[in-house]
Amino acid sequence: MSFVNTPAFDSYRLRLAAGKESCVERTEHYLTVIHQRSALNAFLSVFENEALEEAHRVDQKIKRGTAGPLAGMVVAVKDVLCMKGKRTTCASKMLEKYEAIYDATVIERLRAADAVIIGKTNMDEFAMGSSNENSAFGPVKHPLDETRVPGGSSGGSCVAVAAGMSTTALGSDTGGSIRQPAGLCGMFGLKPTYGRVSRYGLVAFASSFDQIGPFANSARDVAHVLQVIAGYDERDSTSANVPVPGYLGAMNRNVRGLKIGIPKEYFTDALNSEIRSAIEKQIHRLKSSGAEVVEVSLPHSEYTIATYYILATAEASSNLARYDGARYGYRAQGARDLSEMYTKSRSEGFGTEVKRRIMLGTYVLSAGYYDAYYRKAQKVRRLIQNDFLDAFKKADCLITPISPTTAFRLGEKLEDPLQMYLNDIYTVSANLAGIPGISVPAGKDHQGLPVGMQILGKHFDEETLLRVADFLEAA
């Protein structure tokens, strides 16, 4: 499905072990592509020298036979993850000059596994957006058509892999920011169960929704990365102390007897017919290989967008209160007193969408409206979660669309925030419920643009998602 020739990590690892290629050569190749395709604007920083030095160290380890499980993998990282001594901008003017003072847990784990980190990727400011047009450093472009969006907010990470600038990448997903760009670019992208991957060192957008996850060209490569980054971390109080299974072992290319649920509320007439028929084809494949397909209902689906945009903005307004120009971040010049310094710094440091979210969130949390909006939305969140728990009594996983359309044009939805929010209709529910979801390529539309499909699973059952994704990829 991928449009570039990035070898699957399994085969590439064999080439490395046999001395047919080196990690340095692979890293050099990616650096060349990053330069060649700089118009895509996927990276905010590239660690040219360090990545090559690191790759050299990895090659030595491979020769000595002491290399870790990700030796040879070159990873791009969304600029919302802290890397010690490196700029961590969240694509915001507010953090343009901020250098992280510690490594996120996922970064530590990638390094310990001998992955090479090649750079940090562009994104929607503070991960708010669905098109990657909200970056203070310009939009990311779709690798197949530069007049179109790649999706967001992890657009840079997705494009890094899709355009062959890295083997895999890390993104974050609060309401679809891994799955939606993966869908629009024909990639695999996994949002793990809430609590599966440590958020330590991830700059918070909406803390009860955020999860870190991988982008890759294949389900197996997703599994390789997840294997390394998943697992308990005492530095994140919401990290779950749940055993991490061997993900690659579960990918047996067999779906016989698996119960696949189709939520009827996700396949209404509103769904683009090309997307529907691409997904139906995949469902048919599963069925003819012995999976059982059952209809399920998620009756509160119509409330997911409203619930998400109340709760996520509420949490964002609270998380973003720390950027006040005093402790860190951008400070405006020329203020006459403290209050003016706060106001000017925040007005100048944040972009339009971030300000819109702070205002919405502050509003729904304010004394007069808390019960009507925030408290009500918390209750609906529970109902949405219960819908999934009920559906999973009948099915092992669910299949849904990822987004209502394929990649849209730059600027098309920028003037209409509600249209942009509605793009998230199929993805936010997984974050409201805390369940895992994966994007799988499902074909192309008549313009040759990728169509994605989403598989949703039970809490902590990433195994089934990877197994089905890998099956469809092989089929």
Give me the active site residues, please: 78, 153, 177
Q: Is 175 in the site for ligand GLN (CB under 6 A)?
A: yes
**What six digits make up the tokens of 268?**
């209404």
Q: Please, what is the minimum distance in Å from the beta carbon of residue 290 to ligand GLN?
A: 34
Residue 267 C-alpha from the chain's centroid: 23
* Nearer to ligand GLN among residue 129 and residue 457 (C-beta): 129
Q: Is 174 in the site for ligand GLN (CB under 6 A)?
A: yes
Of 32-40, 169-177, 269-277, 329-337, the window that binds ligand GLN (rule: CB under 6 A) is 169-177
Q: Please, what is the minimum distance in Å from the beta carbon of residue 127 to ligand GLN?
A: 4
Q: Is 90 in the site for ligand GLN (CB under 6 A)?
A: no
* Nearer to ligand GLN among residue 248 and residue 365 (C-beta): 365
d(CA 371, CA 418): 23
Q: Are 23 and 16 in contact (CB under 8 A)?
A: yes
- From the list 43, 47, 205, 471, which residue makes contact with ligand GLN (rule: CB under 6 A)? 205
Q: 234: exposed, middle or buried (C-beta count within 10 Å: 0-12, 13-18, 19+)? A: exposed
Q: Please, what is the minimum distance in Å from the beta carbon of residue 411 to ligand GLN?
A: 17
Q: Which residues, numbered 412-431, are part of the site for ligand GLN (CB under 6 A)? A: 424
Q: Are 424 and 152 in contact (CB under 8 A)?
A: no
**What six digits make up the tokens of 293?**
């397909």
d(CA 160, CA 42): 6
Q: Please, what is the minimum distance in Å from the beta carbon of residue 258 to ligand GLN?
A: 28
d(CA 109, CA 225): 10
Of 101-109, 175-183, 194-202, 318-326, the window that binds ligand GLN (rule: CB under 6 A) is 175-183
| Residue at 26: amino acid letter | R
Q: How many CB atoms lie within 10 A of CB 60?
A: 12
Q: Please, what is the minimum distance in Å from the beta carbon of residue 120 to ligand GLN?
A: 16
* Nearer to ligand GLN among residue 82 and residue 115 (C-beta): 82
Contacts of 6 (CB under 8 A, 6+ apart): 161, 164, 167, 217
d(CA 354, CA 25): 40
| Angle 45-47-48 from CA coordinates, rounded to 5° | 120
Of 82-90, 167-175, 321-329, 458-466, the window that binds ligand GLN (rule: CB under 6 A) is 167-175
Q: Please, what is the minimum distance in Å from the beta carbon of residue 360 to ligand GLN?
A: 11
Q: Please, what is the minimum distance in Å from the beta carbon of residue 191 to ligand GLN?
A: 8
Q: Are 353 and 134 in contact (CB under 8 A)?
A: yes
Q: Which helix (H) or strand (E) holds 393?
A: helix 376-394
Q: Is 164 in the site for ligand GLN (CB under 6 A)?
A: no
Q: Is 307 in the site for ligand GLN (CB under 6 A)?
A: no
Q: Please, what is the minimum distance in Å from the beta carbon of residue 117 to ligand GLN?
A: 21
- From the list 68, 176, 214, 349, which residue makes contact with ligand GLN (rule: CB under 6 A)? 176
Q: Which residues, numbered 312-351, are part of the site for ligand GLN (CB under 6 A)? A: 312
Of 105-113, 171-179, 291-299, 379-387, the window that binds ligand GLN (rule: CB under 6 A) is 171-179
**Tokens 């169509």, residue?**
451
Q: Is 200 in the site for ligand GLN (CB under 6 A)?
A: no
Q: Please, what is the minimum distance in Å from the beta carbon of residue 417 to ligand GLN?
A: 10
Would you call the peptide bond into 208 cis, given omega within 30 degrees of 0 as the criterion?
no
Pairing of strands 188-191, 437-444: antiparallel
Beta bridge partners of 120: 45, 77
**What six digits make up the tokens of 193?**
């169960």
- From the list 2, 89, 122, 153, which residue makes contact with ligand GLN (rule: CB under 6 A)? 153
Q: Is 259 helix (H, G, I), strand (E, B) or coil?
A: strand
| Residue at 168: amino acid letter | T
Q: How many residues line the site for ligand GLN (CB under 6 A)?
A: 13
Q: Is 177 in the site for ligand GLN (CB under 6 A)?
A: yes
* Nearer to ligand GLN among residue 130 and residue 304 (C-beta): 130
* Nearer to ligand GLN among residue 424 and residue 470 (C-beta): 424
Question: Site mask, ligand GLN, residues 104-143, x = CB under 6 A?
Answer: -----------------------xxxx-------------
Pairing of strands 43-46, 292-296: unpaired
**What six digits make up the tokens of 5?**
């020739």
b/e sequence 161-192, b meaning 16+ C-beta within 10 Å: bbbbbbbbbbbbbbbbbbbbbbbbbbbbbbbb
- From the list 173, 233, 461, 470, which residue makes contact with ligand GLN (rule: CB under 6 A)? 173
**What six digits make up the tokens of 366?**
């304010």
- Binding residues for ligand GLN, per CB under 6 A? 127-130, 153, 173-177, 205, 312, 424
